[in-house]
Amino acid sequence: MSKYTYLTQAGYERLKGELEDLKQNGRQEVSRAIGEAREKGDLSENAEYDAAKDAQAMLELKINDLEKALANARIIDESQLDSSKVTVLSKVKIKNNKTKKEFTYMLVSESEADLKIGKISVSSPIGSGLLGKAVGDVAAVETPAGNLEFTILDISLD
């Protein structure tokens, strides 16, 4: 059974645009690099050719991954979400019980996660630990740095 990728409409459109760009522009660039390397002679000892072929393989792998993500995508209708518990697309204000510091994160799919702007993946240790919790609940999260406890201070959908 395939794993679903939950995306916002904007996230879906961004991935779709990235896929189209890789298929059109990325493939042309790699093809051009392979052609230029071929012109330089003996392919058996041509590092430039090997590098271009490796780049082509990586590009095709990324295209394949994006196609799988889009094929298994489920677009989330934000108007249907409940703010009484932490779900995908919830904006959660939490307090680290040890350091007393407060953080606000939005839980998103892996492909939309960006810690710099406060978006964490629901499959990350903190994200999965917060899922299903309500305001006032304590989430025990096992991270590579050790066990942490967070108190849920607020849940919103904006």
Q: Which residues contact 41 (CB under 8 A, 6 or more apart)?
A: none
Q: With a cut of 90, say whether residue 138 has pLDDT above it.
A: yes
pLDDT tens for 30-42 read: 999 888 888 877 7
Q: Which residues pair with 138 in a beta bridge?
A: 151
Q: Is the model more confident about 133 or about 84?
A: 133
Q: What CATH number belongs to 78-156?
A: 3.10.50.30
Q: Identify whether the C-beta of residue 67 lies closer than 8 Å to the C-beta of residue 122.
A: no
pLDDT of the residue at 9? 82
Phi then psi for residue 64, to 5 deg, are: -60, -45
- Overall average pLDDT of the 47-56 stretch: 88
Q: Is the model more confident about 112 or about 151?
A: 151
Our CA angle for 48, 45, 28, nearest 5°, is 30
Q: What is the percentage of the chain residues whose pLDDT exceeds 70?
A: 95
Which of 90, 95, 104, 81 is closest to 136 using CA atoms? 95
Q: With a cut of 80, say whether residue 70 has pLDDT above it.
A: yes
**Sign of the dihedral through C-alpha 139, 142, 148, 154:** negative
Considering the entire predicted model, what is its pTM? 0.64
Where are the domains positioned within the chain?
A: 5-75, 78-156
Q: With a cut of 80, say whether residue 81 has pLDDT above it.
A: no
Q: Identify whether the C-beta of residue 141 lies closer than 8 Å to the C-beta of residue 131.
A: no
Q: Which residues contact 72 (CB under 8 A, 6 or more apart)?
A: 2, 3, 4, 5
Going by the DSSP 8-state scheme, the letter that residue 149 receives in this structure is: E
For the chain, what's the residue count? Answer: 158
- Rounded alpha-carbon distances, angstroms, from residue 58 to 22, 52, 55, 123, 139: 11, 10, 5, 24, 38
pLDDT of the residue at 1? 33
Q: With a cut of 70, say whether residue 43 has pLDDT above it.
A: no
Q: What CATH number belongs to 5-75?
A: 1.10.287.180
Q: Average pLDDT of the chain?
A: 87
Q: What is the percentage of the chain residues whose pLDDT exceeds 90?
A: 42
